Structure 1
Amino acid sequence: MMMDPKSDRPLAHWSLPAVTRINPGQLPATYTPNGSEPDETVEIDDPLMIEGIERVQRAIAVHRAVPGRLRGVVTVLAVMAMLGALILWLPDAMIRHAARIAPPAQSRTIGLAVLAELEKSAGAVCRRSSGQQVLDWITPTLIGDDALVQVVPAPLNGARRLPGDVYVLGNDLLTTTPGPEASAGHLIAARLAVEDKQTTLDALQYAGLMNALRLMTLGTLSRNAMQGYGEALLADTPPRPDLATLPPAFAERGLSTEPYARSIDPTGAAVLPLIEADPIRQGTEPVSLLTDEQWLALQQICAG
């Protein structure tokens, strides 16, 4: 507040944040409220007053907003958020992309690598030629021309679908059922339960980002990429398809759903809808899958 020292009448009111000293380091100190175009000035030679003004202005300057500071903070936060999103999203996206573009030959390579791991827990694949010939003959009718079905000695609680349209059966399904219908049903169910691309994706997610990148660039996986995956698969319950999808699929092949259902629950209580919807009961003409000689050869696939 500028006042007339004689009458104490107010002459002007200046805002301290707007006041500028136009002769720094000189005395008397000259101040103006208008910056570069001073039309009003005041000269002060009292050191205490000068120091007081300077102290107030320094305190104000500390709290004055710095142009661009908020924008810089927002930019840094945005960049950090993007990097965090990339770190979390990119590996999974790359693995999904690798699974999506993998050609059938690469998927089959992955499936055989998984099968090799399964053999460590379920026993070596049964390779008696007469039994495998029967499998190779019936497979196109059941699940497709490009499918490969293998049998291992240990029980698998059903059939497992692996990448590359590879299927694995436990020998118990062949030795404890009166005919091939139950095993055939498990193969059909395994095909309906999960898509081949999903099995490839599951395997690559286990193998990790580096193996997915290697597959895309070199076309192969590292030797230990699937190590432990077979044991992890066996620890999980095999996926089952929606029961409503099974009767139509069985009807297309002239098969009864009851042998498959009874192999899951001998009492039939848990699979009663599947038994009641049996296509053969609904009038579908049954088809004989194998001759007695073929069935016997298939049952002995693990006999040596």
Structure 2
Amino acid sequence: MTALDRYVRLESEALWRSEPEGQRRDVTLSFGDATLVIADATGRPLAHWSLPALIRQNPDETPAIYAPDEDASEILEIADSTMVGAIEEVRKALAKSRPHPGTLRHWLTAGLIVVALLLAIFWLPGALTRQTLAVVPAPKRMEIGTALLGYLQQDTGPACQAPQANAAAGRLARRLFGPQTTARIVVLPQLSQGAVALPGGLVALDYGVLQLSDDPAVAAGFILAGRASVLHMDPLEALLQQAGLGTTFRLLTTGEIPDAILRENAAALLASPTPAADPELLRQTLAAAQIPQAPYLAATDARTGNMPDLGQDPLAGQEIPLILTDSDWVSLQNICNI
């Protein structure tokens, strides 16, 4: 049984004013279907007020004064405490049973906020980075790589330069990456990682690698390994991931990366070893450039004490195209001594 069922036969006398300036008149109150029925002495209904919409204008006072709405153009004065208690109980019961669109709206709003936060945390960074990488042109990548190289040189010493050696480095890049390549090999006096791939196709090479062997296949192997280690991730993408969403957004909107971010990234590159390339990927990379594995593997073992297992060399038994002429190789080997 509901609260309304319990009071369906309850009646009470009250005073009703039908308009603001009108006279109060005696009426009889009873409960209808979620309404309060106001009737005259003969039982003729004069008005029906919605119980959930009733507004009590003098809480905790007697007689209780009710209005059907905020305007209070009509009022009821009820002195019967039983009827007042019944009205309050029925109103509360009806209010609980009504749908609460505001609550649903709040839950929907909260749900949308949660979804937006999840998108911001998990989807937006990746999407923003992908969009940025897609629109940054090659000249801007080279500019970023060159700036990063400049910060590397603050710790490694200035890049070694000599006209003949620079030309030899250019020919080596075209031999390894194709005649149309924009890749550039830059030799640094001291780079413990051996070779580091930078944005814009730059490859920083340790001068010490050139001294490991008289076979240019060794240096070629280190350069290719440095590039292969970042084939799964664009060097610019690695920089942006370290720098964060703000730097990514700034690069997308202004085309600039703050100098402080580049300086921090350069320090991070020097402080950690180059990620090891996937052995199968490195095997394919060496084979595609027609560089034999053996010289590189032997030099890596001598330099680090760790020889990658690349499996059978696809080039075994094949004639290897010339990597560099003797004069080019000698010039490159002596680039830091000129």
Deviation at 1:86, TM superposition (A): 4.3
Matched with 1:295 is 329
Amino acid at match of 2:154: K
Return the letter of the residue paired with 1:132: N
Once the two structures are TM-superposed, the CA of residue 46 in structure 1 deviates from its matched residue by 7.8
Please say if 1:105 is aligned against 2:104: no
* 2:174 alignment partner in structure 1: 140
* SS of the residue 2:252 aligns to: helix
- Cα 1:98–1:170 change in 2 (3 A) is same
Whether 2:67 is the aligned partner of 1:34: answer no
Contact 1:185 1:250 in 2 (8 A): yes
Identity of aligned residues (%): 24
Tell me which of 110, 121, 142 is aligned to 1:77. Answer: 110
Does structure 2 retain, via aligned residues, the 8 Å contact 1:131–1:298?
yes
Structure 1 window deviating more from structure 2 (235-244 vs 136-145): it is 235-244
Distance 1:245 1:80, change over 3 A: closer
Query: Could you tell me how far 1:268 is from its partner in structure 2?
Result: 10
Q: Residues 269, 190 of structure 1: CA spacing in aligned structure 2 closer, same or farther, 3 A cutoff?
A: closer
Shift of 1:97: 0.8
> 1:9-48 alignment to 2 at 5 Å?
15-16=5-6, 25-26=15-16, 29-35=28-34, 47-48=80-81
Could you say which residue in structure 2 is the equivalent of 1:94?
A: 128
Q: Sort the Cα spacing of 1:137 and 1:60 in 2 relative to 1 into closer, same or farther, 3 A.
A: same
CA distance in 2, matches of 1:105, 1:25: 88
Amino acid of the residue matched to residue 56 of structure 1? E
Do the aligned residues in 2 keep the contact of 1:162 with 1:196 (CA within 8 Å)?
no
Shift of 1:214: 3.6
1:213/1:21 Cα in 2 relative to 1: closer, same or farther (>3 Å)? farther
Shift of 1:178: 3.2
Deviation at 1:166, TM superposition (A): 0.8
Q: How many Å separate the matches in 2 of 1:233 and 1:272? A: 22
User: In the TM superposition, what whole-angstrom CA distance separates every residue of 1:208-242 from its partner, at most 9, and x where no partner exists?
Assistant: 43443343334333343412101111223213333
Q: Give the superposed CA RMSD.
A: 3.6
Q: Which has the higher strand share?
A: 2
The count of aligned residue pairs is 289
Which secondary structure state, in structure 2, belongs to the residue aligned with residue 266 of structure 1? helix
Structure 1's 272 and 150: CA in aligned 2 closer, same or farther, altered over 3 A? closer
- 1:259-278 pair list within 5 angstroms: 259-266=295-302, 271=307, 273-274=309-310, 277-278=312-313
Hey, what does 1:9 align to over in structure 2?
A: none
Contact 1:143 1:188 in 2 (8 A): no
Correspondence for 1:235 among 251, 267, 271: 271
- AA aligned to 2:146 is L
Change (3 A) 1:39 1:224: closer
Query: 2: distance between equivalents of 1:254 and 1:37?
Result: 95
Runs of 5+ in structure 1 lacking a partner?
Answer: 2-12
One-letter code of the match for 2:248? A
* 2:123 paired with 1:123: no
RCO (CA 8 Å, sep 6+): is it higher in 1 or 2?
1
C-alpha deviation, 1:18, in angstroms? 7.3
Which residue number corresponds to residue 154 of structure 1? 190
Q: What is the CA distance between 1:272 and its match in structure 2?
A: 6.7
Give, in whole Å, the separation in 1 of the partners of 2:304 and 2:151.
34
TM-score scaled by length of structure 2: 0.71
Please list the CA deviations of residues 66-108 of structure 1 after superposition, one character each: whole Å capped at 9, or x if unmatched: 4313321222112312331343233442222101222211211
Q: How much does 1:148 deviate? A: 0.6
Q: Which runs of 5+ in 2 are unaligned?
A: 17-25, 44-77
What is the DSSP-based 3-state SS (H/G/I as helix, E as strand, rest coil) of the residue aligned with 1:151? strand
The change in CA–CA distance for 1:18 and 1:302 in structure 2 (over 3 A counts) is farther
- Aligned partners of 1:22 and 1:177: how far apart in 2? 111
Q: Structure 1 pair 21/203, CA: closer, same or farther in 2 (3 Å)?
A: farther
Counterpart of 1:199?
235
Following TM superposition, by how much is the alpha carbon of 1:14 offset from its aligned partner in structure 2, in angstroms? 5.6
Residues 187, 206 of structure 2: 8 Å contact kept: yes
